[in-house]
Amino acid sequence: MSAVASPQIVIVGAGPAGIRAAATLVDAGLHPIVIDEGQRAGGQIYRRPPPGFTRTPEQLYGSEAAKARALHSLFDRLVEGRRLTHRASSSVIAAHQGRLHVMAERGVQVIGYDRLILATGASDRVAPVPGWQNAGVYSLGAAQIALKAQGVALGRRIVLIGSGPLLTLVGAQLVTAGADVAAVLDTSSWRRQMQGFWGLTARPVVASRGLVMRARLGRCYHAGASLEHIEANGSGVVAVRWRDAGGRERLTSCDMVGMGWHLRAETHLADLAGCTFAYDEQWRQWLPRADQMGRAGKGVYLAGDGVRLLGADGAEIAGRLAAAACLSDLGISTASINADLRKLKRLERFARGLATAFPWPKEMARALPDEAVVCRCENVTAGSIRDSIEHGGVEANRVKSLSRVGMGRCQGRYCLLAAVELVAASAGCAPKDVGRFRGQAPVRPAPVGAFVGEG
């Protein structure tokens, strides 16, 4: 142990933001602890397959291979050089007064921090479609993870539904890998997509890459689709019933559906660590408040898609900035951040373009039939959520305690946004007036035995 105690900085998440934050701290002579749920660092976007897989980064990450290689090798070097402590396959399940409760195979351990950088990323922003509780319905992210980390398609005949960059990307990746993609149904119309054009010009190379991938999908891509029902039998999905932009009813048979409308920030730990939230009208979700550098107060810093949905490139920048803010608050001088702040501005314009071009389908959520399942965990229906308003009023946590929506094992990650839209529509108010579910520890299911012997 060194004579002078240096501040203990803990980073949660080893994706692009977490890795850049860690490297920035190491450069300043600190030794951070990086806690991550993955077995190997990289996050979801640059996720690495388990040992024994042989595809190259070029095959796995395409145009982003150089970035993936750089991040992986940077992090591996820091681990090998013992410049940081990597807690892999570990979940932070609670954060309270400077202490994290970290669950790994050996049980739950408490790790204290002086400063906390949360780089928890995002998951798919999904919307309930009647029938989506059946086996064979996955998120778009799941379809991509299956392909990247396992080399498999999650079905023999695939329909992708939703909107956003991942819809086109996953479709093109599956087609390239040899999967049978029957249809890609984009709920955003061409007109709507054009409204985001100005923002998308902030990154012309990325935007044109998207158009090339869209072209690869050819005739199976449909803009302006409306989703009606996911049909299933006892063993899972058998078809998607939908209407095309001209209003004609269509039925596409399939055994797998991938769905997603861009991203939903993963914010449970920020909530438990005491961050405050604001409803973002454009992203139609609650995001934790932080300054441009990621400062959220109380010694907590936020970086990456968990605070601003800018994607992987934005996450790398945000990771560096959050670490720089942390260092500066500790009185340690850092390199100039002006170039990073400028880049971030450009990425923000692009992200706003995406949000405009590929919106979350609020009208679809608001019009869900009463029998449609909104919460996949416990099969809570739209009807029971609407009923709960009469008994408990228009507030997210009241609706939660009466209807149980958001109380299941995913803790509202996949149902909150739809539930809030339903309540807002029924009550005639704005989603932000409905509020959001309070985060509750543990943020991952934890067996009682995991706490035995915790000291």
Residues forming the site for another protein (CB under 8 A): 37, 44, 49-55, 89, 91, 123-124, 133-139, 141-142, 145-147, 150-156, 177-179, 232, 234-236, 255-256, 266, 373, 376-379, 408-410, 413-414, 444-445, 447, 449
The number of beta carbons lying within 10 Å of the beta carbon of residue 385 is: 27
Residue 156 or 298 having the CB closest to another protein: 156
CB of 51 to another protein, least distance (A): 7
Residue 179 or 309 having the CB closest to another protein: 179
What is the rounded CA–CA span in Å between residue 313 and residue 68?
11
Residue 88 or 202 having the CB closest to another protein: 88
CB of 303 to another protein, least distance (A): 18
Residue 47 or 308 having the CB closest to another protein: 47
Q: List the Cα angle 284/64/159 in 5-degree steps.
A: 55
Concatenating the DSSP letter of every residue in 271-330 gives HHTT--EEEETTTTEEEE---TT-EEETTEEE-GGGTS--HHHHHHHHHHHHHHHHHHHT
Parallel, antiparallel, or unpaired for β 221-223 and 277-280? unpaired
Q: List CB contacts of 331: < 8 A, sequence separation 6 or more.
A: none
Q: How many CA atoms lie within 13 A of 422 on its CB side?
A: 31
Contact of 22 with 34, CB cutoff 8 Å: yes
Contact of 432 with 417, CB cutoff 8 Å: no
Hey, what are 34's tokens? 């990086």
Residue 134 or 426 having the CB closest to another protein: 134
Residue 53 or 197 having the CB closest to another protein: 53
Contact of 318 with 307, CB cutoff 8 Å: yes
CB of 302 to another protein, least distance (A): 18
CB of 46 to another protein, least distance (A): 13
Assign 336 to helix, strand or coil.
Answer: coil
CA torsion sign for 182, 187, 190, 196 is: negative
Residue 356 or 403 having the CB closest to another protein: 403
The DSSP output letter for 333 is -
CB of 1 to another protein, least distance (A): 34
CB of 132 to another protein, least distance (A): 9
CB of 49 to another protein, least distance (A): 7
Phi and psi at residue 405, in whole multiples of 5°? Answer: -65, 130
Residue 230 or 423 having the CB closest to another protein: 230
- Alpha-carbon distance values, 450 to 95, 102, 117, 273 (Å): 16, 10, 25, 22
Residue 286 or 350 having the CB closest to another protein: 286
What is the rounded CA–CA span in Å between residue 314 and residue 115?
22
CB of 250 to another protein, least distance (A): 24
CB of 150 to another protein, least distance (A): 5
